[in-house]
Structure 1
């Protein structure tokens, strides 16, 4: 139940031509505390409840538990979330043996594009496509739970 991922800014929309999947996501936080964030997400037509623990010092590894929930329940729980729901389009892009999840944010986070790659080991090698920008792994400003409270357009 450990999530190991690295996070990057995206410097161009060239990834869109490489994407093999595109989906819509809306999510909110019942609790956005970095030690134990509790998220409700609607991903296309499915609902999810996710609990994330505190990241390690590098920001690459943390506990993550996720369970699919009924869509009606997910919609009801979104209404209980803290202010600052996140809306984004997620693109999946294959690069070598890995898949990048590239998020294009909307509303108060308009203009932000982030790419995440999940790894089996924090030191695992991976391909960095040309559209990938600076690494922001461990920079809490780019955690979705923090973007819901302190949006990108307000920086």
Structure 2
């Protein structure tokens, strides 16, 4: 249940040409405490409740627990969430044996494009596409839970 993930800014929209899958995501948070977040997410035609723990010193790994829930339950729970809905389109891009997920944000986070890659080990090597920019792993302001409270348009 430990998630190992690195996060990067995206420097161009070239990733869209390489995308094999894309879907709309709407999510909000029941809790955004720094030591634990509880997220409700509708991803395409699926919905989930997710609990994430505090990250390690580098921000690369942290506890994550996720369970599917019905769309109806997710829609009801979204009404109980803290203010600050996250709206984005997620693109999946194959890169060697990995999949890079690129999130193009809308609404209050319009203009922000982030890429994430999940790894099996913190220092695992992976192919870096030329559109992958500065690494922002561990920078709290790029966490979705923080973007819901302090959106990109206010930076």
Q: Secondary structure at the match of 2:33?
A: coil
The unaligned stretches of length 5 or more in structure 1 are none
In the alignment, the residues of structure 1 paired with residue 153 and residue 24 of structure 2 have an alpha-carbon distance, to the nearest angstrom, of 20
In the alignment, the residues of structure 2 paired with residue 94 and residue 34 of structure 1 have an alpha-carbon distance, to the nearest angstrom, of 31
Residues 31-71 of structure 1 deviation map (CA, whole Å, 9 limit, x = unaligned): 01121100000001111000000000000000000000011
Is residue 2:152 matched to residue 1:152? yes
Q: Look up the match of 1:113.
A: 113
Q: Secondary structure at the match of 1:108?
A: helix
In the alignment, the residues of structure 2 paired with residue 43 and residue 96 of structure 1 have an alpha-carbon distance, to the nearest angstrom, of 25
Q: Secondary structure at the match of 1:49?
A: strand
The TM-score normalised by the length of structure 1 is 0.99
Is residue 2:20 matched to residue 1:20? yes
The TM-score normalised by the length of structure 2 is 0.99
Task: State the superposition RMSD in angstroms.
Answer: 0.4
Is residue 2:126 matched to residue 1:126? yes
Residues 5-45 of structure 1 deviation map (CA, whole Å, 9 limit, x = unaligned): 00000000000000000000000000011211000000011
Q: Look up the match of 1:63.
A: 63
In the alignment, the residues of structure 1 paired with residue 150 and residue 135 of structure 2 have an alpha-carbon distance, to the nearest angstrom, of 20
In the alignment, the residues of structure 2 paired with residue 64 and residue 114 of structure 1 have an alpha-carbon distance, to the nearest angstrom, of 20
Q: Look up the match of 1:95.
A: 95
In the alignment, the residues of structure 1 paired with residue 81 and residue 13 of structure 2 have an alpha-carbon distance, to the nearest angstrom, of 31
Q: Look up the match of 1:9.
A: 9
Q: Secondary structure at the match of 1:146?
A: helix
